[in-house]
Chains A and B, each alone.
Chain A
């Protein structure tokens, strides 16, 4: 139980740190943040639009009070789920704007994360089993090279080849004319629009799993219990899958949440290229339009999402591996 309490404690403490960081970032600049931001948005000579000022004040809490008062207001608004109004989609609330994009990214990231985990584990395990074979060096070297490719660049190339030249897939957006919802036409369009973005991510994201799985598995293959299993005359397939791979899988679970941050970063870039209607594109728009309330909320949302995934992975790890629980109690 102590293990779970510790992990939950870390989650709460991290959550607090992130929320506070989110509060501090706009205030890092000297002077009154609301005034500076509004001036920046409006340009030096332009007249200030009171609506913009209101949106900015809503985001910043009460910029007139002391830092501590502002912090209290900020936390209060946060608990009530009030993230202010979007500047570029004024007068819509930030939460409404994000709600439109939320599931696009969640589905894209979840599907790629699960697929890349599966692909990575299988390739990594096989490369370790056939260590120093041609397959192994192909996978290892190939991963090293593919891992350096920019997701945005891969996305543009896929667009060029499969979108424009061959015309197999749509080149931008998330759907055509159907109404979003649970109907066949929409799902079909969403899948065909999501195929290339997911592929672009899948070229890069399994690499961490491949190399990690390969290393753990090679270490496990040197253990005595593997030698015993071989000496017993168990078939290779059983030794590889049930003995070595099964044990090597465990450390990968802890990496799951950390890798999620990477996949998310990739998704932000890939969504730009495909004009995919998710959180990443929204983030790009927020940056371009200096929509700070939207940007801040997106930062907070994505970070908290990764934190929750991290907590779940940690708890799951505790269930799967009794040693982790015992070591700390």
Chain B
């Protein structure tokens, strides 16, 4: 394990690390990472919002009054005790669709974000550690190409070719089209860490390159990785909505994007069904704002200068 001051905040959960910290009695024990994040008011709000969405998604079958695909209700009904937000033109319950829709967004956010972050980490770390070599040239070139290609047209083209559009296809396509910004940031970060003494020490002790990059250097970047993950997850949720709005969503389930697509396709606005249009976009925006707020707290971990302001 490394013993740089940088990783004290993030590696707190690791028992060996805690032992190290406690051997230095003079130093005031630093706040644990969750205390730092929680100390930001924005992050607290964000965590509460996202937690609420996760609960709704997990317990959707208990909360939702109806099956989201059940089309046996009176079409175009207004809000009532039976249908909280009214029904669609083909007689589906809007509130239930909304509740089940949280599942798709969170699923795509979690796995799309994870996958994109992993690709960004591997490419960015290797490229940065190998800075100046042919490996770096190739990886940097790929990163820069991926960065300038506009994402949405590419995602649309890739998804349009597949007959069955499952949620995993969408997760995969979003991940492979959205890692580039993260990879570039990781590359820049590792270049600043690469020549620290602990890396030199690890090299002299004969550790392999992969081990140095992913076990020695990476833990020092945990908070940046966490921030990048939250950012990618937010982006993935937005991208899924963008795809679904064009009719390219998962055909088997309901998402907020699909709801907007159907609302538009079936002329919800011309018929004055504004709830059908208004609510899915709003819940989407609140979730994404919550996630952006969490990142205000995560930023406090990587940049201690910001902490006094919180």
Residues of A within 8 A of B (CB): 10, 13-14, 17-18, 21, 25-26, 28-29, 40, 132, 144-145, 147-150, 152-154, 156-157, 159-160, 163-164, 257-258, 260-262, 264-265, 268-269, 272-273, 283-284, 286-288, 290, 292, 295-296, 298-299, 302-303, 306-307, 310
Contacts and interface: CB of A to CB of B under 8 A. Distances in A.
Interface stretch (B95-103, B120-128, B198-206, B262-270): B262-270
5 contacts: A144-B292, A148-B285, A148-B288, A156-B277, A287-B248
Contacts of B154: 299, 303
> Main SS of the interface on chain A?
helix
B53 interface: no
A111 to B, nearest CB: 18
Contacts of A258: 147-148
A150 B272 CA distance: 20
Contacts of B263: 156
Interface string B146-187: 011111111011101101000000000000000000000000
B34 interface: no
Given A26-B161, A272-B246, A302 B150 contact: yes
B33 interface: no
B238 interface: yes
Contacts of A26: 161
Given A13-B141, A148-B288, A159-B269, A153 B150 contact: no
Nearest to B155: A265
A27 B161 CA distance: 10
* 9 closest residue pairs by CB, A with B: A153-B281, A265-B152, A261-B150, A148-B288, A152-B245, A299-B157, A148-B285, A302-B153, A287-B160
Given A145-B285, A269-B246, A306 B150 contact: yes
A283 B145 contact: no
Interface in B16-42: none
Contacts of A299: 153-154, 156-157
Nearest to B288: A148
A298 B246 CA distance: 15
Contact of A269 (B150, B245, B277, B280): B245
B78 interface: no
A88 to B, nearest CB: 13
Most chain A beta-carbon neighbours within 10 Å: one of B161, B260, B272: B161
Contacts of A148: 234, 238, 284-285, 288-289, 292
A288 B150 contact: no
Contacts of A156: 260, 263-264, 269, 277, 281
A25 B238 contact: no
B94 to A, nearest CB: 15
Contacts of B292: 144, 147-148
Interface string B267-283: 00110101001101100
Nearest to B293: A144
A262 to B, nearest CB: 8
B160 A265 contact: no
Nearest to A16: B145
Contacts of A17: 145
Given A149-B281, A150-B284, A284-B246, A160 B274 contact: yes
Given A14-B148, A306-B148, A295 B160 contact: yes
B242 interface: yes
Contacts of B277: 153, 156-157, 160
Interface residues of B, number: 44
B255 to A, nearest CB: 12
A293 to B, nearest CB: 12
A148 B67 CA distance: 28
A66 B152 CA distance: 31
B264 A283 contact: no
B65 interface: no
Contact of A268 (B141, B152, B257, B269): B152
A14 B145 contact: yes
B144 A14 contact: yes
Nearest to A143: B292
Contacts of A144: 289, 292-293
B149 to A, nearest CB: 5
A324 to B, nearest CB: 16
A307 B154 CA distance: 14
Nearest to B292: A144
Given A132-B309, A147-B292, A156-B269, 5 more contacts: A25-B157, A152-B260, A156-B281, A260-B150, A299-B157
A273 B293 contact: no
Contacts of A264: 150, 152-153
B241 interface: yes
Nearest to A279: B153
A261 B145 CA distance: 13
B264 A272 contact: yes
B148 A160 contact: no
Most chain A beta-carbon neighbours within 10 Å: one of B153, B161, B277: B153
A279 to B, nearest CB: 9
A82 B152 CA distance: 24
B148 A310 contact: yes
A10 B158 CA distance: 24
Contacts of A149: 281, 285
Contact of A145 (B144, B157, B289): B289
